[in-house]
Chain A
Amino acid sequence: MSRSSRTEFLLGNGAIALGLLEAGCQVISSYPGTPSSEILPEAHRIAESEGLPLYVEWSVNEKVALDVAFAAAVTGKRAACCMKQVGLNVALDSLMSAAYMGTVGGLVVISCDDPGPHSSQTEQDTRLLARAAKVPVFDPSCPEEAREMVRTAMEISEEFRIPVILRPAIRVCHARQDLCWDPIPPRPRRAEFQRNPTRWAATPRFRLKLHEELNGKLKRIEERFATLYRFNGSDPAAEGVVPLGIIAGGVPFAVVKDLLEEEGREKEVPVLKIGTPYPFPESLAEEFLSRCEKVLVLEETDAVMEVFLRDRRKVWGRLSGHVPWEGELIPQRIAEVLDRALRDVGLDPLEASSDPEVFHLMERLQLPVRRPTLCPGCPHRAAFYAIRKALPKAIFTSDIGCYTLGLNLGAVDTCLDMGAAITMASGFSQAFAQDGELRPIVATIGDSTFYHSGTAGLLNAVYNDARFLLVILDNQVTAMTGMQPTPGLGVRADGSLGKAVPLERVVEGCGVQFLRIVDPYEIPSLVRTLKEGWDYVREPQGGIAVIIARHPCVLAYREEAIPQKKRLKILETCKECRLCIERFECPAILFDEEAGRAAIDPVLCAGCGVCLQVCPNKSIVEVKEEAGQEAPHKG
């Protein structure tokens, strides 16, 4: 059966998925994280429609994911592992060792960077970690190139028997382009395992040998990269030496190329594109450098290529103070940097510049900033409200997920990394205990984050007799990153049913003696349970109290989360105490200045009715059997 080519308007992450399948990838593991989350589902979708054999799994964390993909590659299959950049920190232990051991089948690690940062705790540059781990890295500038690079990365990985990283930045992951592809022939490989303890279980003596082997591979890959003209190179040189050239990679390359073309200056200022920043193809760069008086390096997010350029007097970038060390290189910023470089070498500045008047007008208008908030109906809001009510003076350690927004409700004091709600609570507990003080501490962590990194911390806290309350906010989904399933319900990445591992069994397995499960929509009951828990924590024979606040996410489960939508209104008896607005902070409750009281916005209200329990003088009521309810909010 033959089929003609197919075209789809794909997300960058879809383009990467397509490239993986075209490269014959058979195993993909991942832990969701913006901006990487769509790669695995897209790969699954395309593989299904193409009839390709593909195993996908949402692993419980990135290190687990990389180990799984690595083992698959050791069997000779082609494998990939996808994560966001901070996920690579979690997987770094695995990556460092895997680089020494090498692979049999190709192994591509996709680590998506987030300059900005838009949705991450750091702006770290995956290319630095690639260099630290001695792993080659590709840096795509657009979705189509990401697709091509991932195919080449897979070939290089297999040829040199080394894991290879693809580092797309958020602008590539979340760009959309029209991509066309021919039918992908299935090329399944059978798993094999050849015993070789000096490689797969190498002791330090053999590790030295493997390190030497790895360095040799990098040298040869660098030579290959210097001839990889599809991804590396510049347009034919102008005669003689030019005053200014640019070396760029990734999204900054795409931006600066557009900018120069827009201004008609592409012949005047040559650009050397490097799509493979490590191992750095030094010979290409040195040749380019010899044709320029000065070279401006544009790369995200750190100085990586820049430090490989030997003639420091010629190079402008972060080390010379020309390019900012933090923040995304958005077009405006690149225009500023380029404009300065052009002036400094005595060339004409850029023509296009923004209208300062518009900027001033915007400043004068002081448009209100939008900070993100928990959704109307979010069970986390109810949980945080109850926590604040039960233990207002506690230290609130929290974690990474939608519920970090609990800081708006004054119920989140810390957010360090995945799992740190528990480990920081431990640390606080021990630090205060040393002074003979038992401070109330409430840790909040989401279900997915708990599966990801919670268990080791909980086990440690129980073992070392730390004292705190742990509330696991169990909305039965990984909500922040786009509703991926968790081990709690047992639904797997391909939609099939695996074996569910309920939170309560894991918690009990960690040695916790106090465990309660409460629906956070029932605020009084949660408040009561929190107080009980705190009493247990305080007892000399007590310990850690865990409360699972279980209610499905309103976005993921809609009807299941709110089976009967309540229609609500606020009576004239409202005393303007603003508690529902300031403490509960539901976006669907506003203050109607004209009426002089709080009001419900029917557009935003999810109908959960939790606010009925919040109003101290019962002015929020349910509307029953009434035809046209008045909409208090005017638009």
Chain B
Amino acid sequence: MLLLEKDPLNVIITGVGGQGNVLASQILGQMLVQKGYVVTIGETYGASQRGGSVMSHLRISHKDQFSPLIPQGLCDLVVGLEPVEALRVLGPYGNPGVLMIVNTRPIHPIDVISGDAQYPDLEQVLKEIRSLSRRLWTVQATDMALEMGDPLFSNIIMLGALSATGILPLEREDLERILGELFPPERIPANLEAYDKGREAVQEYSP
């Protein structure tokens, strides 16, 4: 078992209802359980399946179970399926050592669409995230998923991208096994392809 940088290593997967946040956390958790880690996940979704913010907390340890919520300021890694959601979690959970991997495609909240609120400039959002973190990687996951024919692939693309950063010991074979338990066989190749594409597409951000 690869030694984690910290124990527990605290990971947040964040995004918008409908992006496959909960499924991504379940798959990531299971990939780590396969490797022998002890993982506790706390999901925050409630009624937010319908376009609200969704957040999963993963607490990864060599040996212990932890409470399902990450304490304030103690997140080590954020996987942001949406840029503003990635920035948002840094308020309560960020610290200068946090690592960030972010899908750059914004999803506009309904209040932004109706003109009651502003969506901040994307470059500005990425700069703020970079300034508040140790490292930032970006992925154009939604655009790649659209090219593959379904925006829902973006969560698996993000997991592929995460695996390429080497922060967590993720292996394709583990993903394949887990997909086999979750999906019918015909859906597996496309998801593996999404994972592979994510591995190739991740880029370190430099403003």
B109-143 CB mask vs A (1 if < 8 Å, else 0) is 11111110111100000001000100000001011
A175-B38 in contact given A142-B68, A358-B91, A581-B114 (Cβ < 8 Å): no
Q: How far is the CB of B11 from chain A (nearest CB, A)?
A: 13
B174 at the interface (CB under 8 A from A): no
A176, A362, A371 interface centre (most CB from chain B within 10 Å)? A176
A365 touching B87, Cβ below 8 Å? yes
Q: When chains A and B are docked, how far (Å) is the Cα of A159 from the Cα of B16?
A: 47
Report B-chain residues with C-beta under 8 Å of the C-beta of A141.
67
Q: Tell me if A132 counts as interface (CB < 8 A to partner B).
A: no
**Residue contact A367 to B88, C-beta cutoff 8 Å:** yes
Q: Which of A228-265 contact B (CB under 8 A)?
A: 251, 254-255, 257-259, 262
11 further A-B contacts with Cβ under 8 Å, apart from A368-B111, A373-B50, A589-B113, are A34-B47, A117-B46, A118-B47, A258-B67, A355-B73, A358-B90, A365-B120, A370-B16, A370-B51, A371-B110, A591-B113
Nearest A residue to B68 via CB reads: A175
12 sample A-B contacts, Cβ–Cβ < 8 Å, listed by A number: A170-B46, A175-B68, A176-B40, A176-B42, A178-B33, A255-B67, A262-B71, A353-B72, A358-B132, A368-B118, A370-B16, A372-B50
Q: State which of B100-108, B163-171, B187-195, B197-205 sits at the interface with chain A.
A: B100-108
Q: In the bound complex, do residue A587 and residue B110 qualify as a contact, i.e. CB atoms below 8 Å apart? A: yes
Give complex CA distance A114, B46 in Å: 9
As a 0/1 sequence over residues 68 to 112 of chain B, the CB contacts with chain A under 8 angstroms (1 = contact) are 111111100000000010011011101100000000111111111
Task: Give the size category of B's interface with A.
Answer: 35 or more
B26 in complex: contacting residue of A119, A176, A375, CB < 8 Å: A176
Residue among A144, A175, A359, A582 making CB contact with B42, cutoff 8 Å? A175
Majority DSSP secondary structure for residues of B touching A: loop
Kindly state whether residue A497 has any CB partner on chain B within 8 Å: no
Measured CA separation A369–B70 after assembly (Å): 22
Inter-chain CA distance A396–B104, complex, in Å, is: 40
Contact A116 B71 (CB under 8 A): no
CB of A171 within 8 Å of the partner chain: yes
B42 close to A635 (CB less than 8 A): no
CB contact list, A589-604 vs B, under 8 A: 589-591, 602-604
A496 interface hit (Cβ, 8 Å): no
Contact with A along B37-77 (1 / 0, CB 8 A): 01111111111111111000000000001111111111000
Q: Are B109 and A331 in touch, CB under 8 angstroms?
A: no
List chain A residues, Cβ under 8 A from B39: 9, 176-178
Q: In the complex, A412→B151 CA distance in Å?
A: 32
Q: How far is the CA of A114 from the CA of B71 in the complex (A)?
A: 20
Inter-chain contact B110/A585, CB cutoff 8 Å: yes
**How many whole Å from A304's CB to the nearest CB in chain B?**
20
A174 contacts chain B at the CB level, 8 A cutoff:
yes
Is A119 in contact with B119, judged by CB distance below 8 angstroms? no
Within the complex, the shortest CB–CB distance from A32 to chain B, in Å, comes to 13
Q: Using Cβ atoms and an 8 Å threshold, which residues of chain A touch B108?
A: 590
**B72 CB → nearest A CB, Å:** 4
Among residues 348 to 400 in chain A, which have CB atoms less than 8 Å away from a CB atom of chain B?
352-355, 358-359, 361-362, 365-375
In the complex, residue of chain B having the shortest beta-carbon distance to the beta carbon of A402: B50
Among candidates B16, B69, B104, residue contacting A635 with C-beta atoms closer than 8 Å: B104
- Which residues of B (135-168) have their CB < 8 Å from a CB of A? 140, 142-143, 146, 151
A336 and chain B: residue at smallest CB distance: B72
Question: A510–B87 Cα gap in the complex (Å)?
Answer: 53
User: A480 at the A/B interface (Cβ < 8 Å)?
Assistant: yes
Chain A residues within an 8 Å CB radius of B120: 365, 367
Could you tell me if A118 and B50 are in contact, using CB atoms closer than 8 angstroms?
A: no
The answer to whether A175 touches B117, judged by C-beta atoms less than 8 angstroms apart, is no
A330 adjacent to chain B (CB < 8 Å) = yes
A177 touches B40 (CB 8 A): yes
Closest chain-B Cβ to A324's Cβ sits at a distance in Å of 16
Whether A361 touches B128, Cβ cut-off 8 Å, given contacts A118-B44, A176-B43, A331-B69, is yes
What B residues does A374 contact at CB under 8 A? 50
CA distance A368 to B85 in the complex (A): 10
The 8 closest A-B pairs by CB, nearest first: A118-B46, A254-B67, A119-B46, A175-B68, A635-B105, A176-B41, A362-B91, A368-B117
Contacting residues, chain A, for B44 (C-beta < 8 A): 118, 174
Q: Is the CB of B46 within 8 A of A34?
A: yes
A155 to chain B, nearest CB (A): 24
- Is the CB of B29 closer than 8 A to any CB of chain A? yes
Q: How far is the CA of A402 from the CA of B51 in the complex (A)?
A: 12
Question: Within the assembled complex, what's the spacing in Å between the Cα atoms of A589 and B112?
Answer: 11
* Known contacts A354-B92, A581-B113: A587-B72 contact under CB 8 Å: no
Q: Are B71 and A370 in contact (CB under 8 A)?
A: no
Is A405 engaged at the interface, CB distance under 8 Å to the other chain? yes
Among B90, B110, B117, B146, point to the contact of A408 (Cβ < 8 A).
B110
> Do A635 and B143 have beta carbons less than 8 Å apart?
yes
Given the known interface contacts A251-B67, A355-B95, the answer about A368 and B143 at a Cβ–Cβ threshold of 8 Å is: no
